[in-house]
Amino acid sequence: MTERMLEVHALARHFSVRGGILPRRRPVLRAVDGVSFEVGRGQTFGLVGESGCGKSTLGRSILRLLEPTRGRVVLDGAEITGLDSAALKRQRKDMQMIFQDPFASLSPRRTVRQMLQEPLALHVPGSPARRVARVRELLDIVGLGQSALDRYPHEFSGGQRQRIGIARALAVEPKLVVADEPVSALDVSVQSQVLNLLADLQTEFGLSFVFISHDLAVVQHISHFIGVMYLGKLVETAPVDRIYAMPAHPYTRALLDAVPVAGGTRRIRRRALDGEPPSPLNPPGGCPFHTRCPEAMPICSRRVPRTIELEEHGRSHQVRCHLHDPDISQ
Amino acid sequence: MSNNDALLEVENLCVEFGDRRGAVRAVDRISFEVEPGRTLGIVGESGCGKSTTSLAIMGLLPRPAGRITAGAIRLSGTELAGLPENRMRRIRGAEMSMIFQEPMTALNPVYTIGAQMSAVVRRHAGLSRRAARRRALEMLERVGIPLAQRRLAEYPHELSGGMRQRVMIAMALSCRPRLLIADEPTTALDVTTQAQVLEQIKALQRDFDTAVVLITHDLGVVAETCDEVVVMYCGRMVERAPVEALFSAPRHRYTEGLIQAIPKIRTRRLTRLPVVPGSVPDLSELPPGCCFAARCAHADTHCLRRQPALERMGPSRVACFHPADAEPVR
Amino acid sequence: MSLPVHDINPGADARLQPVRRPGGISPWSRAFDRLIGDRPAMAGLAIVTVFFVIALGVWFGWWGGKWAETGDGQWLPPSPEHWLGTTILGQDIFARAIFSTRTAFEIGLVVAAASTLLGALFGALSGYFAHTAIDGLVLWLKGVLDSIPFYLFVAAIAFALDGNPWAMHIAMIATFWTTTARLVRGEVIKLKSLEFVEAARAIGLHPLVILFRHIVPNTLHILLVQATIVFVAAIKSEVILSFLGLGVQDGVSWGLMIAESTSEVIAGHYMNFIAASGFLFALVMGFNLFADGLQDALDPKRSGR
């Protein structure tokens, strides 16, 4: 394994839900419930799952945009969780975020120059002239012309805005970037442009990415490792080539089956998964997936599956499923 | 051009949106037919005019800005363009209905599912209160909603996104319309739910012999559900082809690029994805020639000056001077 | 739904397409363009401008200076000498109406500026720190102020300040900021959840910097419209307060003129009343037309994405 850039240990983020007129016991929503994984330097961890599975909450908890309820986050050897606000502010230089909605993620009344200078002014000492030079360099890096400098967000298309968002994230030369669905709001023909840009930037600057997406097809080409999330838990993590070729968890298989295939063999009967994810407020006992799992066994509703290591050639492939538990399946 | 079997015929449809500063042509000479029991897909990126086309067919263009400036829309021989609103109202819901991308906004939050469904049936099919209720229940069961009887008494916010979209489908098909227009019906849904909903539309279509016009940006969805496809770009029809031909031998350079560029799961992981360079031009300043020329690797000066007409190529029709796998036209 | 006109410039990469305009088009200049094209709003602005010039003239002493001068003829009818006739003391009604314009603008501007500032500050703080003690305090204050009957409140303040001429201003500012604060609070809560605010947090900006640099500028459309509404409300309230004797203490105002006219109208002398209410009507009308246009022009829903 390459050098570790990010370590996430048993991270959890719970929300207590407001509601009800009577002050009864407040239900707790376990949006992220004990998630652990690592990302190597210059590598991408693709985080996949359906809406409401907690992937965005996880991304924000890693950056402490949301305070984690439990667990540890270690960035390049330095623990992020537990930093006081002044230290956290300094640490923000190393970790940045790219957002989903290119229309909501840029301040509508600020020019590109103002937006890109802001992080520099805060984190990078230097003269104003040097800052402007850096802003120009950033525009060049993300493939926008210098004419973009004094323009406002509404003057750009979705793809261009996403490039501005990427430039803002890169301004302070972070080590880690969490990208939350960065291409899902873009037109198809623009999506791959942005994906290629992110891949190029990774090679050029040795960035580590946590790339969040609902779409297995999008993460395949940019990720080195993939984690599949279901109801706040990682159910499978594996190297990218393994997970597409040999998915171990029934949920991963169902997700892969559900992706529509353009061209190729048409109208193959897919094993469409029944139903929808249960409410995270009231997750089923045992394995959270057993209510929809085509291969569920009696034990699945009773016991929470432990993490099984299906190591191959020294590369970690973990799955939380009784099917792979040697103590249970045989 | 006229096809006696066709249920819906759209001929040289032009739609313009105007304000004080001038008009833009959002839909420019679109023609297609759909036969009963068949599915026509209209694909394209945002702003290509696909949704406008569907609104024009339904007679739901936003007034007074949008208007049909030329062409014909015939539903089993009846001309719909220019039909007075009171007659359109009778046709909508009874003979053709529409489902939208966001089912939450299409359902009235203050009425129960049952009340809304019965109202539609009673108005268009003239059923009694009790018969309407029975029809509503039957339709909910047909679209695979568990505990349908209980759902009738529930309000839209009590259902999940996938359930709401099923209710919309049930409602749209409750009067057995001969034409269903589905505008991005699965875009707001997760992949696993999307697969179920598409399956459901197909099953109902088989049962009722409904003609379906499916508007989508997702070529994967097109490949799995459509019989024929219209590809739109900047309000124009650039290619129209049977679905097999579209994917096995795309003719227009835009179609070709789009098929290559969609993120899809591949057997080999690519480091760089194929792209369509640039982005969609503004409708208010379209070039005089082919609207795709600026992004096309095959464009020459001819393409920049003249608009290609739609020409037959095997089973496909394509508007391109340099279509794929062909001797140059001219 | 993909309606056609979507982006001002969805051109390809800026590199691939020639840039149309050299500088950036700010959201303000787009709103300004819309406002210019709005005829009723422009008519309203013209009326307001005329009144403003009148008020300026009074400040500079070009006209209206003789509002207090008494003459020999009481209750004279309109004549070339006294355009709108005279009062019981032989004062020129036209001069008094002109001078009152200055009074109206003074009250309107002071109250609008101060209550908008207060409303923005309190609204922004309580919105950004919603459901905290700060928010609770602001909401409590707002609730208390809103529940006191306005005229009683003015009377109380006037009494407490012992006839201070600013009592009316203070009372109006103290009550008018609450609506602005409520609107700003709602908008800030909405904006706070947007990704650009999260992006600012991810950069490490201080919460107050985020609030006043990134969020509040996006509520300016509310503040501007509210300021015009408060302006109108202030000069209308002045009339009633002055009529009740709680308003303008020295000088003259439309309210005082109307108060004077109560006894006169019975005697058949209408000019005081007509002049004051005519001026008031024209200015309020002009301002309302302008405010409507302003609201439309600044509406973020209309500015495209």
pLDDT band at C16 (very low <50, low <70, confident <90, very high): very low
Query: Chain B closest CA to A182's CA: distance in Å?
Result: 13
**Mutate which of C2, C195, C214, C220 to test chain A, going by most A C-beta atoms within 10 A?**
C195
Task: Kindly state the tokens that stand for A30.
Answer: 């376990």
pLDDT band at B5 (very low <50, low <70, confident <90, very high): confident
Residues in C closer than 8 angstroms to B278, CB to CB, are 12-13, 16-17
Task: Kindly state the tokens that stand for B45.
Answer: 């990126």
pLDDT digits (tens, 9 = 90+) for A125-160: 888 899 999 999 999 999 998 888 999 998 888 889
Average pLDDT of chain B to the nearest whole number: 87
| The Cα angle at residue A315 between residues A312 and A319, in degrees rounded to 5 | 75
Q: Which of A192, A218, A220 minimises the CB distance to B266?
A: A220
pLDDT band at B93 (very low <50, low <70, confident <90, very high): confident
**Mutate which of A187, A198, A235 to test chain B, going by most B C-beta atoms within 10 A?**
A187
Higher pLDDT, C14 or C149: C149
Closest to C6 in 3D by CA, of B24, B215, A193, B20: B24
Tell me how far CA of residue C271 lies from CA of C51, C142, C276, in angstroms: 20, 41, 8
**Mutate which of C2, C8, C9, C13 to test chain A, going by most A C-beta atoms within 10 A?**
C13
Contact C205 A122 (CB under 8 A): yes
Contact B24 C5 (CB under 8 A): yes
Higher pLDDT, C288 or B326: C288
* Residue A11 pLDDT exceeds 50: yes
Beta strands in chain B (DSSP E): 8-19, 22-34, 39-43, 66-75, 78-79, 96-99, 179-183, 211-216, 228-233, 236-242, 311-313, 316-318
Q: Taking CB atoms and an 8 Å cut-off, how many pairs form between chains B and C?
A: 58
pLDDT band at C17 (very low <50, low <70, confident <90, very high): very low
Asked if A182 and A167 touch (Cβ cutoff 8 Å), the reply is: no
Greatest distance between any 2 Cα atoms in chain B? 67
Q: DSSP for B12-34?
A: EEEEEEEETTEEEEEEEEEEEEE
* Residue A230 pLDDT exceeds 70: yes
Measured between CA atoms, the residue of chain C closest to residue B102 is C1
Measured between CA atoms, the residue of chain A closest to residue B190 is A50
**CB within 8 Å of chain B, chain A residues 132-161:** 157-160
* Residue A113 pLDDT exceeds 90: yes
Phi, psi of B105 (to 5 degrees): -80, -15
On whether residue A114 sits in a domain, the answer given is yes
Phi, psi of C248 (to 5 degrees): -60, 130
Question: Cα–Cα distance between C194 and B244 in angstroms, integer?
Answer: 43
Contact B195 A273 (CB under 8 A): yes
How does strand B211-216 pair with strand B179-183?
A: parallel
Asked if B318 and B252 touch (Cβ cutoff 8 Å), the reply is: yes
Contact A221 B222 (CB under 8 A): no
pLDDT at res. C269:
77
pLDDT at res. C233:
92
Q: Which of C10, C11, C203 minimises the CB distance to A119?
A: C203
* Residue A330 pLDDT exceeds 70: no
Give the mean model confidence (pLDDT) for residues A48-73. 93
pLDDT at res. A95:
95
pLDDT digits (tens, 9 = 90+) for B28-59: 999 999 999 999 999 998 888 999 999 999 99
The helix-helix angle for B191-208 and B129-142 (nearest 10°) equals 130
Give the mean model confidence (pLDDT) for residues C275-286. 91
Residues in C closer than 8 angstroms to A144, CB to CB, are 13-15
C17 touches chain B (CB under 8 A): yes
| The Cα angle at residue C246 between residues C244 and C249, in degrees rounded to 5 | 115
Higher pLDDT, B325 or A308: A308
Phi, psi of B216 (to 5 degrees): -155, 160
* Residue B157 pLDDT exceeds 90: no
Q: DSSP for A198-255?
A: HHHHHHHHT-EEEEEES-HHHHHTT-SEEEEEETTEEEEEEEHHHHHHS--SHHHHHH
Residue indicated by tokens 């990720």: A223
DSSP class of residue A312? B
* Residue A200 pLDDT exceeds 50: yes
pLDDT at res. A21:
54
Q: Which of B26, B100, B278 minimises the CB distance to C12?
A: B278
Measured between CA atoms, the residue of chain C closest to residue A105 is C196
Tally of domains within chain A: 1
On whether residue A253 sits in a domain, the answer given is no
How many CA atoms are closer than 13 Å to the CA of C83, on its beta-carbon side?
A: 8
On whether residue A154 sits in a domain, the answer given is yes
Question: Cα–Cα distance between B175 and B97 in angstroms, integer?
Answer: 9
Question: Cα–Cα distance between B237 and B75 in angstroms, integer?
Answer: 21
* Residue C3 pLDDT exceeds 80: no
Share of chain A above pLDDT 70, in %: 93
* Residue B330 pLDDT exceeds 60: no
Question: Cα–Cα distance between C276 and C101 in angstroms, integer?
Answer: 10
* Residue C13 pLDDT exceeds 50: no
Residues in A closer than 8 angstroms to B262, CB to CB, are 188, 191, 217, 262
Residue indicated by tokens 């599915």: B39
pLDDT digits (tens, 9 = 90+) for A13-29: 998 876 555 555 667 88
Residues in C closer than 8 angstroms to A147, CB to CB, are 14, 19, 22
Range name among A219-223, B163-167, C61-65, C153-157 with the lowest pLDDT average: C61-65
* Residue B222 pLDDT exceeds 80: yes
Range name among A308-312, C84-88, C110-114, C289-293 with the lowest pLDDT average: C84-88
On whether residue A325 sits in a domain, the answer given is no
* Residue A70 pLDDT exceeds 90: yes
Q: Taking CB atoms and an 8 Å cut-off, how many pairs form between chains A and C?
A: 112
pLDDT at res. C11:
34
Query: Chain A closest CA to C218's CA: distance in Å?
Result: 7
Instruction: Enumerate neighbours of C (3 or more CB pairs within 8 A).
Output: A, B
Higher pLDDT, C177 or C159: C177
Question: Cα–Cα distance between B154 and A262 in angstroms, integer?
Answer: 37
B24 touches chain C (CB under 8 A): yes
CATH number reported for the structural domain that contains residue A106 in this entry:
3.40.50.300
Question: Cα–Cα distance between B147 and B158 in angstroms, integer?
Answer: 13
Domains of chain B are 8-233 (3.40.50.300), 236-318 (no CATH)
Query: Chain B closest CA to C48's CA: distance in Å?
Result: 27
C18 touches chain B (CB under 8 A): no
pLDDT at res. B21:
65
> What type of residue is C118?
L
* Residue C18 pLDDT exceeds 60: no
pLDDT digits (tens, 9 = 90+) for C197-210: 999 999 999 999 99
Nearest-10 Cα torsion for B197, B200, B204, B207: 160
Contact B51 C9 (CB under 8 A): no
Domains of chain C are 51-61+99-302 (1.10.3720.10)
Instruction: Enumerate neighbours of B (3 or more CB pairs within 8 A).
Output: A, C
pLDDT at res. C9:
34
Question: Cα–Cα distance between A110 and C246 in angstroms, integer?
Answer: 46
A4 touches chain C (CB under 8 A): no
Average pLDDT of chain A to the nearest whole number: 88
Q: Helix (H) and strand (E) counts for chain C?
A: 11, 0
Share of chain A above pLDDT 90, in %: 60
On whether residue A323 sits in a domain, the answer given is no
**In which domain, by residue range, is A40 found?**
4-230
A191 touches chain B (CB under 8 A): yes
pLDDT band at C20 (very low <50, low <70, confident <90, very high): very low
* Residue C2 pLDDT exceeds 70: no
C9 touches chain B (CB under 8 A): yes
Helix, strand, coil percent content, chain B, rounded in steps of 5:
35, 25, 40
pLDDT band at C1 (very low <50, low <70, confident <90, very high): very low
A251 touches chain C (CB under 8 A): no
Question: Cα–Cα distance between A189 and B48 in angstroms, integer?
Answer: 13
pLDDT at res. A329:
62
On whether residue A277 sits in a domain, the answer given is no
* Residue C15 pLDDT exceeds 80: no
Contact C5 B283 (CB under 8 A): yes
Sign of CA dihedral C67, C73, C76, C80: negative
Share of chain B above pLDDT 70, in %: 96
pLDDT at res. A226:
95
* Residue B328 pLDDT exceeds 50: no
C-alpha A311 chain-centroid distance: 24
Q: Where is A319: in which H helix or E strand?
A: strand A318-320
Task: Kindly state the tokens that stand for B69.
Answer: 């400036």
On whether residue A209 sits in a domain, the answer given is yes
pLDDT at res. A25:
62
Closest to C154 in 3D by CA, of C232, C236, C244: C244
* Residue B216 pLDDT exceeds 50: yes
* Residue C239 pLDDT exceeds 80: yes
On whether residue A123 sits in a domain, the answer given is yes
Nearest-10 Cα torsion for C25, C29, C33, C38: 150
pLDDT at res. C48:
92
**Mutate which of A53, A56, A183, A188 to test chain B, going by most B C-beta atoms within 10 A?**
A188
